Structures are given as structure tokens and as C-alpha cells.
Amino acid sequence: MEELDEAIAVIRLNRPARLNALTREMVVELNEALAVIAVNRTVRAVILTGSGRGFCAGQDVAAADARNRTAPSGLVERYYWQEQFAGLVDRIRAMPQVVIAAVNGPCAGVGMALALAADIRLASRSARFLNAAVRLGLTAGESGMSYFLPRLIGASRAFEILITGRTVEAEEAERIGLVIRLTDDEALMDEAEALARQILVNSPFATEHTKRLVWQNVDAPSFTAAIELENRAQILASMTEDYKEATAAFIDRRPPRFQGK
């Protein structure tokens, strides 16, 4: 984990020789890093990216193959590790910080799931997305993939991508709304940092609860339920000191000085 400053944390997957493919040990470390950041109230934005020329090539298939040949896992062990992999996306979605995936190059399998779980995705022009589990005798329902992808790009398009296991190149990813925009490879992290700093301009309470509202209301049982949740959050926000500061700053035509209170 790195810090651009005390408010922005960078998690950089760091196994570039293997395109940052995840081993079980890396999954443990990443879960721990996400848990530490989630309770750090000073950090308000997280940038998730990869070292070298790739974001994340998914699970390390070579490591899995070696286990299968020498000491194959039993049901209980396999299910435990499945939950650890899936726990990564659960942590990303649940943490109060806004998570920006800066997708640099190949983004496959659980790597794609990590990107989908992020609140916002930017991608370099060399990025490409792939869930090839269906080609490996597994389902495409991996670490939240079958949940997130239809909600981001629509059920029909998501189904075709998942059922074929085909690659989505960067230009298509932008066109269908999988990423918000593309950048040149060398500019990706600068773009991600600029976006994070746009988020930091707003009050901590408003940012955190907007994230909660958006993702909870994606699955709201009704419009009425969504409005009720919005009303509650809005009144709570209006009782904060930062709201008073924001209105005063607007009238005074100056930048607000938020204190997270």
C-alpha cells in the first residue's frame, strides 16, 4: 500500500512478472490491506492498480495447476479459499472510501471482478477485460461477476460476454460503459489521482453516504423504499457541521473547509 497523501491510498498489486496474478498469499495480504484502510477515517479515496504492464491476470493458474497435480484441495479447503477471493470484492463494495480502479493492461478473472467491484473504473488504452472461467471448466459467476456486470452494462450484453468468455478490448469497454474513460497508459495514474482529488473536495459524510445510497438503491425493492433511504440520508447530512460550512462558503463565495463533522 502506498499513500499519495493522507487522504488517498494506492493499492498496487505487485507481481508484474505474472501480470499480478493472485496467489492465495496475495489474497490474504489484499484482504488485510482493505480491512486496514476501511477503518482509517483519514483515507477517503483508494486507487487500485497493478504494477508493470497489467492490472491483474486473475488467479495464478500455474499455482492452481501445481496444487491439483501434487496436493489437490478438498471441498472444505476449496470453499474456504473461494470465500477469501470473493471477500475481496465484498470488502471493496462495503468500505466507506470511494474506490477507483485504474486498469492498466490485462484485467482477467478475479482481477476483472476487483475492477467491477470498484466504484469507478478508468482504463488505459492497453486495457482489456476477460473472464475465461467458462473456458476452464468453471462458471462465469466468479467473485460477484454475475452480479456486478449486468448492473453496469445491462443483462443481455453481460450474458454474452460471460457465456462466451471473450475479451472486451478497451474501446468497447468505454463504449458500453464498463469504464468511464480511457487514457494513454502513461497518464492513467495522473487521471486517477485527479479524479480522487475531485472527490476530496466534497464533504466526507456526503461522499460516504452517497456511495451507500447508490449501491443500496441499485437493489431497492421499490421506488418508495429508495426515496425513504434518500430522505433519511439527506436529513442526517443536513445536521452535520460540514453542511453548515458548505452553505456559508457558497454564500461567501469561497471554498468550504470541511472537517468531517
CA–CA distance from 223 to each of 64, 115, 206, 210, 226 (Å)? Answer: 45, 28, 21, 17, 5
Quick: pLDDT tens for 138-193: 898 889 999 999 999 999 999 999 999 999 999 999 999 999 999 999 999 999 99
Confidence of residue 1 (pLDDT cuts 50, 70, 90): low
Cell numbers standing for residue 146: 454475475
How many Cβ atoms are within 10 Å of 145's Cβ, its own excluded?
24
Q: What's 134's DSSP letter? A: G
pLDDT of residue 24: 92
Give dist(CA 7, CA 258) in Å, integer: 13
3-class SS of residue 107: strand
* Residue of 63, 79, 70, 85 whose CA lies nearest to 15: 63
Give dist(CA 113, CA 130) in Å, integer: 10
Task: Kindly tell me if the per-residue pLDDT of 110 is higher than 70.
Answer: yes
Residues of the chain with pLDDT > 90, as a percent, come to: 83
Confidence of residue 104 (pLDDT cuts 50, 70, 90): very high
**What value, to the nearest 5°, has the Cα angle with vertex 34 and ends 7 and 72?**
160
Give dist(CA 254, CA 251) in Å, integer: 8
Confidence of residue 133 (pLDDT cuts 50, 70, 90): confident
Lowest-pLDDT choice from 51-55, 105-109, 132-136, 212-216: 132-136
Lowest-pLDDT choice from 26-40, 67-81, 213-227: 67-81
Most confident of 10-14, 68-72, 138-142: 10-14
Burial of 4 (0-12, 13-18, 19+ CB in 10 A): middle
